[in-house]
Structure 1
Amino acid sequence: MVMKIAENKTLDSALRALQLIFAIIVMGTDGYAIHAFRGHTAYVHFKFGNFYAYYGVPDAWGFLMFCAGWTVLTVIFHLIAGVRFADRALIGYLRVAVEAVAVLSWLAGFIAVAVQISTDICSAGKHSCGSLTAATVFSGLEWLLFIVTVARTAMLVFNSSRKPKNSTTKPGVDV
């Protein structure tokens, strides 16, 4: 029963399509938040001197954009690897590794951005807060989708019985 769910191509295609759609949504909302934030310069006065400090876009917002781009590459990799190299053991292990990197990246990305929503970086007067909240929600959903697909991929790769390749040499030929 479990292997039937793991081998269901329709379910896999639907999950990959949702991952791609959510990644595009995160790219759009996070990209708008980055564009609307527009860093600012502050004049800082100290006892020992003065300087201008530039406060740019937080790094976590850019990391969330990286996660969305990584998801697009992951979906493309799984489409190509699932069709052409389905019987190769190394490709199966690579599929699990790519999924694991994506799961950990989305977890780190959406937590890092969610922590910054309640700070003064994203106060009520900023225009980017609504889209950043939407990006955080969709990135959390993307993480949940990757939890499901990494479990399915791991079950498929580690529970499958691969047949060894036959030798190309003839039995009576001296080597």
Structure 2
Amino acid sequence: MALNTAANRTVDLTLRALQLILAIITMGTDGHAIHVFHGHTVHEHFEFGDFYNYYGVPDAWGFLMFCAAWTVLGVIFLLIAGIRFADHVLLGYVRVGVEAVALLSWLAGFVAVAVNIGSNACPAEENGCGTLKAATVFGALEWLLFVVTTTMTVKLVFGRARHPRR
């Protein structure tokens, strides 16, 4: 059974709502992990002098926050473009592009944060990394939702027959 977003708006709106909800949850859990994280300074001694290096929040955690913010904006665009301008061919390609960028950024985001779990940034024995683990799980679920919606959007845009304009 092929799932078509034009034929079943309820499924599309439900998936978009789930994407928004998971993006907000990911923002909250990742934001809490960033807030709770305590950076540390490391004193390194070299033959030509001493060096103090500050280790702050890993970049991957901020990238996951960017993915969540990008999703909120992207889903709003995809909802408006899907409802008001569904017949425009060029906008269909833009929709596929937005879906593909969101899909790839979520894949990169949750994998990059998952790599930090158990490392120096988030040691396995530290209890404060639970919110980061939750953010990673919600990021993976968000990626799965984008796999479904990207597939549906690609089938919708590239599956329709081309009619010449008169």
TM-score bracket, normalised by the shorter chain, equals over 0.9
Q: Which amino acid aligns with 1:82?
A: G
> Cα distance, 1:39 vs. partner?
1.6
User: What is aligned with 1:169?
Assistant: none
TM-score by length of 2: 0.93
User: What is aligned with 1:106?
Assistant: 106
| 1:90 maps onto 2:90 in alignment | yes
> Cα distance, 1:38 vs. partner?
2.6
- Identify if the C-alpha distance between structure 1 residues 18 and 61 changes in structure 2 by more than 3 Å, giving closer, same or farther: same
- Judge conservation of contact 2:4–2:156 (CA < 8 Å) in 1: no
TM-score by length of 1: 0.89
Cα separation, 1, equivalents of 2:43 and 2:84: 58
Cα separation, 1, equivalents of 2:83 and 2:153: 14
Structure 2 gaps, min length 5: none
Cα RMSD between the aligned structures? 1.5
Q: Map 1:109-128 onto structure 2 (within 5 A).
A: 109-123=109-123, 124-125=125-126, 127=128
User: What is aligned with 1:61?
Assistant: 61
Q: Deviation per CA, 1:92-147: give whole Å up to 9, x if none.
A: 000001000001000000000001101121122352x0000000000000000000
Greater radius of gyration (CA):
1
User: What is aligned with 1:70?
Assistant: 70
Q: Deviation per CA, 1:32-81: give whole Å up to 9, x if none.
A: 00111032222212232101101010000000000001110111001110
Cα separation, 1, equivalents of 2:103 and 2:140: 10
| 1:42 maps onto 2:42 in alignment | yes
- Judge conservation of contact 2:106–2:140 (CA < 8 Å) in 1: yes
- SS of the equivalent of 2:121 reads helix
Across the two proteins, how many residue pairs are aligned to each other? 165
Q: Which amino acid aligns with 2:49?
A: G
User: What is aligned with 1:33?
Assistant: 33
User: Percent of aligned positions with the same letter in both sequences?
Assistant: 65
- Identify if the C-alpha distance between structure 1 residues 38 and 20 changes in structure 2 by more than 3 Å, giving closer, same or farther: same
Cα separation, 1, equivalents of 2:163 and 2:135: 44
> Cα distance, 1:7 vs. partner?
3.2
Cα separation, 2, equivalents of 1:145 and 1:164: 34
- Identify if the C-alpha distance between structure 1 residues 10 and 30 changes in structure 2 by more than 3 Å, giving closer, same or farther: same
